[in-house]
Amino acid sequence: MSLRHLLSPRSVAIVGASDKIGPGFNAWKALEFVGFEGAIHLINPNKGELFGRRTLPSLADVADEVDAVFVAVQAERIPEIVRQATSKGVGGIAILSSGFAEAGETGAEAQRQLARIAAENGIAVCGPNCLGLLNFAGKAALFGTSLPESVARGGVAAIVQSGSIGIALLNAGRGLGLSHLITSGNEAVTAVADYLEALVEDPEVKSVIAFLEQLRKPAKFIAAAARAKALGKPVIVLKSGRSAEGRAAVMAHTGAVAGSVEVCRAAFRAAGVIEAGSLDELVETAVLVSGLASRPRGEGVGVVSLSGGEIALALDVAEEVGLTLAPIAEAKAEIAALLPEFAHIANPLDLTWAGLYDPTIAERIARAMGRQGQVGTLVLLQDAPRGLGTQQATRYSNLLRAVAKGARAAGKPLVAVSNLSGDPHPGFAAAAAEEGVPYLRGTREGLLAVASFARWAAPLSVERAVGADKAAAAKARNAWTALPANRLPAEHEARAILASYGLAGPRERFVTRAEEVGAAAAGIGFPVVLKGVVANLVHKSDAGLVKIGIRSADEARHAAAELLDRAARLESGEVLGLLVQETAAPVAELLVGARVDPEFGPIVVAGGGGVLVELYNDVAIRLAPVDEAAAGAMIAETRASKLLAGWRGKPAGDLAAVSAAIVALSRFIVDFADEIAEVEVNPLAVFAQGKGCSALDCLIVPKRRSG
Amino acid sequence: MSLRHLLSPRSVAIVGASDKIGPGFNAWKALEFVGFEGAIHLINPNKGELFGRRTLPSLADVADEVDAVFVAVQAERIPEIVRQATSKGVGGIAILSSGFAEAGETGAEAQRQLARIAAENGIAVCGPNCLGLLNFAGKAALFGTSLPESVARGGVAAIVQSGSIGIALLNAGRGLGLSHLITSGNEAVTAVADYLEALVEDPEVKSVIAFLEQLRKPAKFIAAAARAKALGKPVIVLKSGRSAEGRAAVMAHTGAVAGSVEVCRAAFRAAGVIEAGSLDELVETAVLVSGLASRPRGEGVGVVSLSGGEIALALDVAEEVGLTLAPIAEAKAEIAALLPEFAHIANPLDLTWAGLYDPTIAERIARAMGRQGQVGTLVLLQDAPRGLGTQQATRYSNLLRAVAKGARAAGKPLVAVSNLSGDPHPGFAAAAAEEGVPYLRGTREGLLAVASFARWAAPLSVERAVGADKAAAAKARNAWTALPANRLPAEHEARAILASYGLAGPRERFVTRAEEVGAAAAGIGFPVVLKGVVANLVHKSDAGLVKIGIRSADEARHAAAELLDRAARLESGEVLGLLVQETAAPVAELLVGARVDPEFGPIVVAGGGGVLVELYNDVAIRLAPVDEAAAGAMIAETRASKLLAGWRGKPAGDLAAVSAAIVALSRFIVDFADEIAEVEVNPLAVFAQGKGCSALDCLIVPKRRSG
């Protein structure tokens, strides 16, 4: 299915064209507004003429070819019109009518029928229950709502699932130059992912912004976003439903901490999508990426301001928004020579009033700062509220021009940020526009946009593609196939499978009779841990089936008898036997897990174990597989990483072994994505550097358990 | 020191008056701008006449009384002018000059001298290094910067430590009606706390906003803020330096997690201060509190919108900003009858397009929702961007009027919130103004303002004043006095002091010889815990001085010998003896601590123990003392509270006992505020409901340790 007919039709029919205010009138006006140059067919059985043109009673009466149809009639009449469109070989339909899936089961059934017919005939459908779409760049429109007097044109394509948000973006007056505005409505057929895929290939489109409530066709969306990244076109997404969305119902913690929201975020990250948290953040980021003359030259940012107060406000949000303040050590002497003796030379830099009264000072400082290798972008923090007196506005404008000159001399892009998000002083705004400096509004929104774009533009990290290990996979598959299919793999069985990927575990022996534990324990070395193994019972501790610190063969036998007795009285499942394990004295205990997300595929999770994951969700998530570098970055993201860094006098933990364990699980989940729902090692005992780590407990949950 | 002369002078002298643009010119213009009706004396030795008035060569030449002086001359000349002012009995001086504490040690010394002279003569000083102040309500000004053409007047007094932020607020064009704008500069003499104290008593002042980088005279500030709360005047504060501020250097965790930022927040909360996190949040909250016709009637909020997309955005931030969505169950039938069959009746409520096309529906729904007892405020989510077509803007305005009518009929205030923070459509803004509905900008900023004000206006919580327990204090003081002053109290000594306040601990015996531990352990009951006690050694575990799970007298003796041997080889301090304790099997382990903050006095802290506090700062903080209700609220604030709610099949913890422990520590720190720097119980073992809790480890750090 091509979107060409829908997005760039050569001919359009307006079904329900009208000279009364409403969709059938607005659609005509919208074509006029964008300067549509193709054929327009007006369909209205009750009027012979509209806008000085002859109308036709029905779509079937159009003699010529029709590329796309606009329709906003009652939902009941849609099937008939779609049939007519199908006969005419129409390639795209924008259906504004409501009364479909949003309106209960009858509507949902009508929508399913619509989707079926569209699929059979390869028709792209915008909507139903939408406002239609505008293609300013390609001079086309299938749009049913009134338009403002003027819309700034440019390279930003907007796709929104909410008509209301579409109207907001269209009228925001924020100077965003739009190439498209697409409201996707119920997405019966054509979804945001389809539009994104088409738009990234359009040379007129330089960046894409999207507002989503529900991400349909996620794999396609991620692929299109990754393609956009490769083409150097930023994709900025505001995905709502961040707090409301449910968690996967799963047996282990991995699913609880890596719910659909978190996995979606990991997928966005992997595809280079910039996420915004509010409509203002979406708009400011779009203003930045579409307005900056050149791309940031790395993650680091250099900040100047006239005001200690404004700098304090920026510092308050810098960490939260992930702003990397670049070191400026090598420019310190040069800058210090330009400022009063008492000036504090740092980044952010207070230019003091010297910078205001002598713009050449500001210019030279901006140049010196901009020349620092790690400064990829310069930021001028400067409030310029609308009511400002002319004298002050002129001074601030001169400052901006001076800093812009210095930034140009250093070859670095400049962004101006205001703490106030109301409309700025027109003189200052004009100066910024003339200098090609985006003027962002709001401390948080502005600095978040800078940080996001700088990260986006930074060279790709060293995370390499991970090659498959066929030998490991084959070995694991043999072990997997040998397991009984009528119950969950027991802990030691799961561990044996993961061992194929190099994951270590404690020395252990599985026995079936209490009499065997003494010898088994002696072979391992006291003290040992003894666990009762019951089919399909996951939480052994909670069931009282774990005894630790067993110091003699005698004690082991007593404990074994007690555990077997207790296990037999549980109504959980068959008692399989006893597990005798060496006692571990780790530096820290972590959780490493992986699961197959129904939307985004295999993912891997790592972070604090036990109470840390349950109370604090202290984990990092990535799409699987990951390599050692990515695994190390995951651990560093969590607060639990402090436990590995020589915490409270303990030795530092074996980070390399932890990274290898994460890599192992990420490979396993990819290799077994068809069979496994979830795998979890919790706790993963981490020993001192060079001593490795050990999977103290393991759980593998197959996708479907037969029996 | 009264601020009357500074804030409301009857006569003003401008030292350095001038007809050239600059402070001496602006000061004259500012007096004209506010309509100053008192006497003005222009001081300029070089011009005989300015603005058609005779000038005088020096302040000493003024024949009449001078209430206040404005001065912006070089810092070197300030002492001379202050001397002249002192001789004339001037009561207030605004010193704009820079070159004081902000400019190095020489300037700091000049500032100290200035402060000394001012204190000796009871002179209030605005600055130095400021822009001065404006009193629109009282028609007075000592202000040295140019003013916009017009400033909206009203009941909002603004106090800012940054001139730049002052200019931003003055010119923001956000419709904030100002009574005062005070830039406090270096605060050599008169600080934000002093201004606040004076302003809250001014009948023209209805609310106060403040921007702070450093809170001087904190106790006075908090008292003035509490007074404002009692008078029903909201105080809204943006305190920067949230992330940068350092932590107290302390021995226990309490100081590490309750640093100056967190304690300041607790103090603000106790005094009813509304905290803002950005300049936009400060402004929007001020727009709300000054613009709402009546006060919120409780914490609950009812939200309506035309758009599912806008509702999704609101839900995304609702939890983060603390918005309480009120239940509307009793209005459901009435509302459902007004909307299409498929409409989802919930709060936030989607009015669907029915609400747009028939405003009487929106009106009746607003009335029904507003009549719900727990709905204290109604919110209309409605974007109305500037570029909106007239037709749409009119529809949205009609919706707003209809919802406002319904809200009035229900007797509840209405707030409108836009997702976009740019300037709105003028027609919609005018409709909102006519209806007396504040139109807030930005999803987060708008809803945060609503949530903050609703909480502020809600009836005071049940936290009662806590009476002192003189008997407990006397008993604790006896124990305290008996301790050696040349070392930290040992764990069991600290526990004995806290026991006076009813805090339970494990059964224990302190012995000095290894031979005694067997009998002691037998008396307590095996298994026991054995600890080596060394003077001034706080972290026994880290030093290897703790043995757990000791099961026999024999084992105890061996362990004791080993611990004594290890203790003797430490170079920490004198080996005091051995502590034999019963083994606890708690449901959860918490931290309860208290300390005396140098700025805000005694505070109490409670939250997760061990790794939870160190990695996640999972604690709640209050000014001490607290009562049981406040203590319970503290625990509920932390994620560690989940551990007490029947976590992983364990029984629920004894919350009442935990609350009592928090109360006990909060009383102790108040009673011993002169002697104790810090006290900490970590872990506090919590047992099942009705089984109490136990201070497993205790630390008391005296303020000054002699020896």
Backbone angles phi, psi at A286, to 5 degrees: -65, -40
| A-proximal residues of B, 568-587, CB under 8 Å | none
Where b means 16+ CB within 10 Å and e means fewer, A147-158 reads bbeebeebbbbb
Give the span between the Cα atoms of B660 and B501, in whole angstroms: 9
| A-proximal residues of B, 76-105, CB under 8 Å | 98, 102-104
HSE of A618 in the Cβ direction (CA atoms, 13 Å)?
A: 28
Q: pLDDT value at position B252? A: 64
Q: What does the pLDDT average to over B37-62?
A: 95
**Amino acid at residue number B638:** T
pLDDT above 60 for A379: yes
Q: Please give the structure tokens belonging to residue B216.
A: 């001087």
Q: What does the pLDDT average to over B348-354?
A: 91
Q: Please give the structure tokens belonging to residue B358.
A: 């028939």
Q: pLDDT value at position B646? A: 86
Q: pLDDT value at position A51? A: 94
B491 Cβ partners below 8 Å, 6+ apart?
A: B531, B533, B540, B579, B697, B698, B699
Give the span between the Cα atoms of B385 and A174, in whole angstroms: 9
Nearest partner of A418 among B489, B699, B279, B348, judged by Cα: B279
| B-proximal residues of A, 257-296, CB under 8 Å | 277-280, 283
HSE of A208 in the Cβ direction (CA atoms, 13 Å)?
A: 33
CB A654 within 8 A of CB A662: no
Q: pLDDT value at position A241? A: 79
Backbone angles phi, psi at A338, to 5 degrees: -95, -15
Judged by CB atoms closer than 8 Å, whether chains meet at B278 and A443 is answered as yes
| B482 shares contact with chain A (CB less than 8 Å) | no
Write the residue in B388, B608, B643 that is nearest to A171 by C-beta: B388
First-to-last alpha carbon distance for chain B, in angstroms, is: 42
Give the span between the Cα atoms of A454 and A450, in whole angstroms: 6
Q: pLDDT value at position B466? A: 64
> Is ipTM beyond 0.95?
no
| B-proximal residues of A, 238-257, CB under 8 Å | 238, 240-244
| B52 shares contact with chain A (CB less than 8 Å) | no
| B552 shares contact with chain A (CB less than 8 Å) | no
Beta strand segments in B248-386, E:
274-276, 300-305, 324-325, 349-350, 377-381
CA A485 to chain centre: 37
CB B331 within 8 A of CB B339: no
Backbone conformation region of residue B249, classed left if phi is above 0, alpha if psi is from -120 to 50, else beta: beta
Q: pLDDT value at position A128? A: 97
Give the span between the Cα atoms of A679 and A668, in whole angstroms: 9
CB B315 within 8 A of CB B348: yes
pLDDT, tens only, A244-294: 444 444 566 677 777 778 899 999 999 999 999 999 999 999 999 999 989
- DSSP for B12-48, written as a single string: EEEET--SSSSHHHHHHHHHHHHT--SEEEEE-TT-S
Judged by CB atoms closer than 8 Å, whether chains meet at A443 and B318 is answered as no
- DSSP for B412-431, written as a single string: --EEEEES--S-B-HHHHHH
Per the listing, tokens 């422990």 go with B661
Q: Using CA coordinates, name the residue in chain A closest to B318.
A: A243
Nearest partner of A705 among A536, A499, A491, A498, judged by Cα: A536
Q: Please give the structure tokens belonging to residue A387.
A: 């009511």
| B-proximal residues of A, 5-24, CB under 8 Å | 21
HSE of B590 in the Cβ direction (CA atoms, 13 Å)?
A: 31
Judged by CB atoms closer than 8 Å, whether chains meet at A419 and B241 is answered as no
pLDDT above 50 for B654: yes
Q: Please give the structure tokens belonging to residue B455.
A: 């909480």
Per the listing, tokens 């509490």 go with B226
Mutate to test the interface with B, among A29, A167, A178, A643 (most CBs of B within 10 A): A167
pLDDT above 80 for B185: yes
**Amino acid at residue number B119:** A
pLDDT above 70 for B652: yes
CB A611 within 8 A of CB A592: no
Which residues in chain A are contacts of B417 at CB distance < 8 A? none
Nearest partner of B461 among B631, B707, B653, B227, judged by Cα: B631
Give the span between the Cα atoms of A72 and B340, in whole angstroms: 19
**Amino acid at residue number A670:** V
pLDDT, tens only, B448-490: 999 999 999 987 554 445 677 889 999 999 999 999 988 999 9
CB A206 within 8 A of CB A155: yes
Confidence of residue B707 (pLDDT cuts 50, 70, 90): very low
Neighbouring CB atoms inside 10 A of A373's CB total 11
Q: pLDDT value at position B614? A: 77
Judged by CB atoms closer than 8 Å, whether chains meet at A173 and B309 is answered as no
Backbone angles phi, psi at B260, to 5 degrees: -65, -35
Q: How far is A297 from chain B, CA to nearest CA, in Å?
A: 27
pLDDT above 70 for B679: yes
Number of H helices and E strands in chain A, helices first, is 24, 30
The rounded mean pLDDT for chain A is 93
Give the span between the Cα atoms of A377 and A295, in whole angstroms: 8
What sections of A189-337 are H helices per DSSP?
A: 192-199, 218-230, 253-257, 260-270, 279-291, 308-321, 332-336
Confidence of residue A667 (pLDDT cuts 50, 70, 90): very high
First-to-last alpha carbon distance for chain A, in angstroms, is: 42
Q: Residue B50: enclosing H or E segment and its boundaries? A: strand B49-50
Distances (CA, A) of B444 to A44, A374, B362, B415, B423: 46, 33, 24, 14, 16
Q: Please give the structure tokens belonging to residue B545.
A: 């001085």
CB A667 within 8 A of CB A703: no
Nearest partner of A486 among A262, A702, A232, judged by Cα: A702
Neighbouring CB atoms inside 10 A of A333's CB total 10
Between residues B390 and B454, which one has the greater pLDDT?
B454
- Proportion of chain A above pLDDT 70, given as a percent: 96
What sections of A322-457 are H helices per DSSP?
A: 332-336, 352-357, 359-370, 390-410, 426-435, 443-457
HSE of A662 in the Cβ direction (CA atoms, 13 Å)?
A: 32
pLDDT above 90 for A111: yes
Neighbouring CB atoms inside 10 A of A65's CB total 12
Which residues in chain A are contacts of B423 at CB distance < 8 A? 173, 422-423
Q: Calculate Rg over the CA atoms of chain A.
A: 31
Q: pLDDT value at position A251? A: 61
pLDDT above 70 for A430: yes
Which residues in chain B are contacts of A419 at CB distance < 8 A? 165, 168, 278-280
- DSSP for A481-509, written as a single string: HHS-TTSPPPHHHHHHHHHTTT-----EE
Q: What does the pLDDT average to over B549-578?
A: 91
Q: What does the pLDDT average to over A96-119?
A: 94
Find the length of chain A: 707
HSE of A535 in the Cβ direction (CA atoms, 13 Å)?
A: 12
pLDDT above 70 for A460: no
Q: pLDDT value at position A191? A: 97
Judged by CB atoms closer than 8 Å, whether chains meet at B280 and A421 is answered as yes
Q: Please give the structure tokens belonging to residue B448.
A: 């945060």
Counting beta carbons within 10 angstroms of the beta carbon of residue A552, is it exposed (0 to 12), middle (13 to 18) or buried (19 or more)?
Answer: middle
Give the span between the Cα atoms of B61 and B41, in whole angstroms: 10
Confidence of residue A461 (pLDDT cuts 50, 70, 90): low
pLDDT, tens only, B92-111: 999 999 999 988 899 999 99
Write the residue in B150, B312, B612 that is nearest to A240 by C-beta: B312
